Amino acid sequence: MKTRQVLVGVTGFVVVAGLATAAWFSRDQLSRWLTARAPAAKADERPAPVAEAKVLKLSPQARKNLGLVAKAAKPQTYWRTIQVPGAIIDRPGRSDRGVTAPAVGAVVQVHAFPGDTVGPGDRLFTLRLFSEYLQNTQSELFKATRETELLKEQRVLLAKAAKSGAVAETKVIELDNQLRRQSAAIQAYRQDLLTRGLKAEQIDEVTEGNFISTIEVVAPPPVTDSKRESGIQQTASQLIDNHVEGLTYEVQDLKVDLGQQVQAGQLLSVLSNHHSLYLEGHAFKQEAPFLEKAAQNAWPVQVEFAEDDHKHWPALDQSFQIRHLANSIDPASRTFDFFVPLTNQSRGYEKDGQTFVVWRFRPGQRVRLHVPVEELKDVLVLPSAAIVREGPEAYVFRQNGDLFNRITVHVLHEDRLNVVVENDGSITPGLYLAQNAAAALNRVLKAQAASGVRADVHVHADGTVHEAH
């Protein structure tokens, strides 16, 4: 009996082990069989389509994190523009003034150095004269002056003799003619010395026999301009409330050294006054018709100044218009230039008894010019960050409390700063539109739609569901 029980246990173990071994080697076939036996309905199931979301909800904290700004939509007129790069340059004939030597001499003293501020008539250099011509002119002036005095004395004597009949009247007439010739010569000599840089007081000393051996070279007077395009005041420079009033020169460069001998007409220094400048635009030939039309119609040009510290300067209250277009093309860049006048701003400060000038705009500073080419009327103008694109579609977001509705719009024009939207009725004037973060709002809208929670519905206490109003 005991042997029979053992035999049954061994047989059971062998059967179980055989079944396990068979199952291990046929596991792949068994898996395919079980899969095939799965309900067919499961394989045919499809995920339910998700309705396109058009409304998203943002908390007040989220709006603050995005720095969201909303403004009422308002139809307006917009000028389509082309953007042209440019730079600020000196205005030829106005910004820089060269100072030349009036005669041959040597530089014995320099009174103004680079960076110094001078006004018209201020001393720049002292020259020791080596000019033989200037010495001869002084000598001739002195001789003519003495000759005139002698002729005047003779005339007095001959006039008395002519009255008594001792001398003919023709002698007196001859003396009068000589006096007129001497007067003309004296006037010519004095004018020559004035153009050489001598002052009227110095010329008076020459007539007394005190010849001038040194001469002062001074800053030139302002250029008379009947049109007053430059707007430079023809008065002495003064520092009033940190603003330099009147014409002021800044010594930009020295062209000679102390002790150097110079020739008549040689450049001694360069003075600059950056009050009147040019905005020089660089455009391509195909843009010439737009620029020509803007210049003819005097359309205002919008200017972006690179590296401009506008917070510490007064508002720039001036209109920019194209003055003229260049008629030549640069062979290297294949562009032609056009020019827009710019009136600069300045302020000054005093240090060590001298006044120094600081200009707001400097030659070489880069600018971007927006030249108007077309007028678009009755359109909606938004910042470029207020619109988001998905393929051919363009969207803006209307704010209604915590909710933001996505609205499809038609874009007429877009540049780096603004987007022009057609006023076709899709946006009612007066509605508040988000002015920035449109891309971020679109991402939030997609995230809320993917979560399955609609932001445009709410549930009442009685269990009814309604869309957001």
Q: What single string gives the DSSP state of each residue in 383-420?
A: EGGG-EEETTEEEEEEEETTEEEEEE--EEEE-SSEEE
Q: Return the beta strands (E) in 246-323 as ranges.
A: 249-254, 261-262, 267-272, 276-283, 302-305
pLDDT-based confidence at 466, cuts 50/70/90?
A: very low
DSSP 423: -
Name the least confident of 134-148, 361-375, 408-422, 440-454. 440-454
User: What pLDDT is stored for residue 154 in this prediction?
Assistant: 81
Q: What pLDDT is attached to residue 462? A: 38
- Coil, helix or strand at residue 104: coil
What is the pLDDT, as a whole number, of residue 246?
Answer: 58
Strand partners, 433: 71, 398
Q: Would you state the pLDDT for residue 454? A: 55
Q: Which is the CATH superfamily of the domain at 84-92+272-374? A: Efflux pump adaptor protein, beta barrel domain (2.40.30.170)
Q: Out of 101-110, 120-129, 160-169, 266-275, which region has the weakest mean confidence (pLDDT)?
A: 160-169
CA neighbours closer than 13 Å in the CB half-sphere of residue 71: 10
Average pLDDT, the chain: 81
The pLDDT of residue 28:
60
Phi, psi of 376 (to 5 degrees): -110, 120
Question: Which residue would you say has higher pLDDT here, 36 or 162?
Answer: 162
- Name the band, by pLDDT with cuts 50, 70 and 90, for residue 256: very high
Q: Which residue has the higher pLDDT, 418 or 449?
A: 418
The better pLDDT of the pair 160, 89 is held by: 89
Give the fold, CATH level 3, of 55-78+375-467: 2.40.420
- Does residue 114 surpass a pLDDT of 50? yes
Question: What's residue 36's pLDDT?
Answer: 53
- Residues 80-111: pLDDT tens digits? 889 999 999 999 888 899 999 988 899 999 99
Contact (Cβ atoms closer than 8 angstroms) between residue 417 and residue 383: yes
Q: Read off the pLDDT of each residue in 123-148 and give the average, rounded to a whole number.
A: 88
55-78+375-467 and 84-92+272-374 in the same fold: no
Residue 406 β-bridge partners? 397
Q: Would you give the DSSP letter of residue 219?
A: P
Cα–Cα distances (Å) from 47 to 35, 42, 166, in that order, read 21, 12, 142
CB contact set of 346 (below 8 Å; sequence gap of 6+): 243, 244, 248, 274, 275, 357, 358, 359, 360
Which range scores top for mean pLDDT: 171-175, 201-205, 404-408, 458-462? 404-408
Are the beta carbons of 382 and 436 closer than 8 angstroms? no
Q: Among all chains, which residue has been given the structure tokens 């995230």? A: 447
Q: Where are the domains of the chain?
A: 2-43, 55-78+375-467, 84-92+272-374, 98-269
Closest by Cα among 77, 80, 76, 72 to 396: 72
- Interatomic CA distance for residues 289 and 275, integer angstroms: 31
How high is the pLDDT of residue 41? Answer: 44
| Confidence label for 51 from pLDDT (cuts 50, 70 and 90) | low
For residue 408, the cross-strand partners are 395
pLDDT digits (tens, 9 = 90+) for 320-372: 999 999 999 999 999 999 999 999 998 888 888 888 888 999 999 999 999 99
Percent of the chain at pLDDT exceeding 70: 79
**DSSP E strands, 114-170:** 117-118, 123-129
Q: Taking a C-beta distance cutoff of 8 angstroms, is the pair 273, 247 a contact? A: yes
Element (H, E) at 36: helix 27-36
For residue 218, which of 252, 244, 251, 256 has the smallest C-alpha distance?
251
| φ, ψ of residue 321 in degrees (nearest 5) | -135, 150
Token output for 427: 């946006």
* 144 CB neighbour count, 10 Å cutoff: 21
